């Protein structure tokens, strides 16, 4: 079995930075990494959903992953998402991740030609994982985007022993029953990383110890307070912080989440540029209106609170 240290704390899913013409802005990645470290984030989940991974070419994804690995300090773990619609592309990305010294890889289910059974999904993931046999492998469960929604517990039971470097799941779903069952499989050996920022408290109550999410790029203090309050048994404070998360995410989603999140990054001093179509980029007027609404919500004060 591959040697693996489970993920802990907050792992951000960073945006891919673009110039105004939507070409890669690789120089900005160092500032992103510095911002994460300053906000006590422990890792970066690169080229995932927030990173618009499936809107990048394979060559671009390799460049982004290599840049993250180059600029990330030792205390910031780099997990490279290698999922794509085609198996050979996934394998190429996985091989590159191993070559550059990534800390782990993750792969979502193919979302055009979808696996018709758990067995099909296991076979696909096994093929991807064997392209980077020295790296820990996470299956990335995100049915809201892939349309693939098998119980993860069934996947882990079927995959155990067949994917030697399988260590866990990036669980971006609301099915806490499935999450709980996964946590207790094989005496709790799987690293179950929670992936829904707006229901983190439910994940913590179920047993999560780490989380990967979009809003940890620009709202980590909210979640640090949430996790600290939960650890102390202060559910009143934990619920208060979770409500702030919900209100923030709802506001961003009302503008189109990707464009609004990238606009928010600029507001905190890390300009990651526009989104790529079909994701919407906010106009200057929309960004100004969003900033005013964020101020009314109290967002900028929440960041100062620690």
Q: Which residue numbers are catalytic?
A: 140, 170
Other Cβ atoms within 10 Å of 40 Cβ, number: 14
Tokens found for residue 190: 């799987």
Reduced to 3 states, what is the DSSP secondary structure of residue 210? strand
Q: How far is CA 181 from CA 150, 153, 173, 175, 189, in A?
A: 14, 6, 14, 10, 12
Other Cβ atoms within 10 Å of 254 Cβ, number: 11
* Of 116, 118, 99, 127, residue with least CA distance to 107: 127
Residue 223 near residue 204, CB atoms below 8 Å: no
Residue in the block written with tokens 């959903």: 49
Contacts of 7 (CB under 8 A, 6+ apart): 42, 43, 77, 79, 168, 191, 193, 209, 210, 212
Using CA atoms, how far apart are residues 137 and 66, in angstroms rounded to an integer?
Answer: 18
Tokens found for residue 276: 């790529």
Tokens found for residue 16: 């891919």
104 alpha carbon, distance to own chain's centre: 13
290 alpha carbon, distance to own chain's centre: 24
């Amino acid at each position: 079995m591959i040697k693996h240290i489970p993920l802990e704390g907050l792992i951000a899913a960073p945006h891919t930075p673009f110039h105004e013409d939507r070409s890669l802005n690789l120089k900005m990645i160092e500032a992103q990494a510095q911002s994460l470290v300053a906000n006590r984030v422990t890792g970066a989940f690169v080229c995932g959903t927030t990173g618009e991974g499936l809107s990048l070419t394979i060559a671009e994804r390799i460049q982004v992953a290599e840049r993250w690995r180059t600029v990330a300090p030792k205390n910031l773990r780099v997990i490279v998402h290698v999922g794509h619609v085609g198996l050979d592309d996934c394998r190429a990305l996985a091989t590159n991740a191993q070559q550059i010294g990534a800390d782990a890889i993750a792969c979502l289910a193919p979302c055009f030609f979808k696996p018709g059974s758990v067995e099909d999904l296991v076979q696909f993931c096994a093929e991807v994982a064997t392209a980077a046999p020295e790296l820990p492998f996470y299956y990335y469960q995100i049915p809201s985007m892939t349309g693939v929604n098998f119980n993860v517990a069934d996947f882990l039971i079927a995959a155990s022993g067949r994917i030697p470097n399988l260590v866990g799941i990036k669980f971006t779903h609301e099915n806490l029953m499935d999450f709980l069952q996964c946590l207790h499989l094989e005496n709790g050996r799987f690293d179950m990383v929670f992936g829904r920022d707006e229901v983190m408290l439910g994940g913590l109550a179920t047993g999560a110890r780490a989380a990967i999410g979009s809003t940890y790029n620009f709202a980590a203090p909210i979640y640090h307070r949430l996790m600290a309050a939960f650890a102390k048994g202060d559910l009143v404070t934990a619920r208060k912080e979770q409500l702030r998360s919900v209100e923030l995410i709802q506001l961003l989603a009302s503008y189109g989440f990707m464009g609004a999140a990238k606009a928010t990054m600029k507001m905190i001093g890390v300009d990651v540029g526009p989104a790529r179509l079909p994701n919407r980029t906010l106009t200057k007027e929309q960004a100004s209106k969003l900033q005013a609404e964020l101020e009314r919500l109290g967002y900028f004060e929440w960041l100062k609170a620690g």
